[in-house]
Amino acid sequence: MEMVDESIRHVSKYHTIADFSLTNQNGKTITQDDYKDKIYVADFFFTTCQTICPIMTDHMYKIQSATFKDDEVLLLSHSVTPVKDSVPVLKAYAKEKGVVDRKWNLVTGDKKQIYKLARKSYLAVKEDGNGDIYDMIHTENFLLIDKKRQIRGFYDGTKPEDIEQLLEDIETLKYFGGS
């Protein structure tokens, strides 16, 4: 599978997801500690997206269903329009999409933090962007993160076959202790 960001080749194999502090659909602060010793799937979306996001959200829902009884696996969706996607907006979206709070966080917060996470931690997008109000991330990537906060795979969140592969890879990771 091709890495999304060519610069990942120059990143240490011990590259980890940076610390973060964001707010979920219930107004709760979510940090890396909420994902400590967990395997998780991360993505980037926005509630008003009419193109790839509804498909991606349906696929995240499928992952939620497939891992529902598995406390080792969580989901984390970052809003790329955090000003528009306030807590009440995320809450309404979560309710509409069948999000289970203990399993799946939809997070909003500081746009610069979210975009830096997307580009420098999750390596989900190639371009650096310019940081202004028109700077926009639109990526179909789902990322599988292990218990050591390391990226274990990139998947196209719009393709059912990639979701099947992702679910298989979660099982493989679990077999090897999640890291």
pLDDT at res. 7: 45
The H-assigned helical ranges of 20-176 are 53-66, 87-97, 111-116, 160-175
**Residue recorded with tokens 């580009």:** 119
pLDDT at res. 12: 54
pLDDT at res. 8: 45
pLDDT at res. 129: 59
pLDDT at res. 31: 97
Structural domain boundaries in the chain: 6-175
CATH class of 6-175: alpha beta
Cross-strand pairs, 154: 143
pLDDT at res. 51: 85
pLDDT at res. 5: 43
Instruction: Record the tokens describing residue 105, joined without a space.
Output: 């966080």
Q: Is 41 exposed, middle or buried (0-12, 13-18, 19+ CB in 10 A)?
A: buried
pLDDT at res. 29: 98
From first to last of its 179 residues, what are the pLDDT tens digits of the chain? 333 444 444 455 678 999 999 999 999 999 999 999 999 999 999 999 888 888 999 999 999 999 999 999 999 999 999 999 999 999 999 999 999 999 999 999 998 899 889 888 888 876 665 555 555 677 889 999 999 999 999 999 999 999 999 999 999 999 887 77
Q: Tell me how far apart the alpha carbons of residues 153 and 150 are, in angstroms, rounded to a whole number.
A: 9
Contacts of 4-10 with C-beta under 8 Å, sequence gap 24+, read: 4/123, 4/124, 4/125, 4/126, 4/139, 4/141, 4/154, 5/119, 5/123, 5/124, 5/125, 5/126, 6/126, 7/123, 8/123
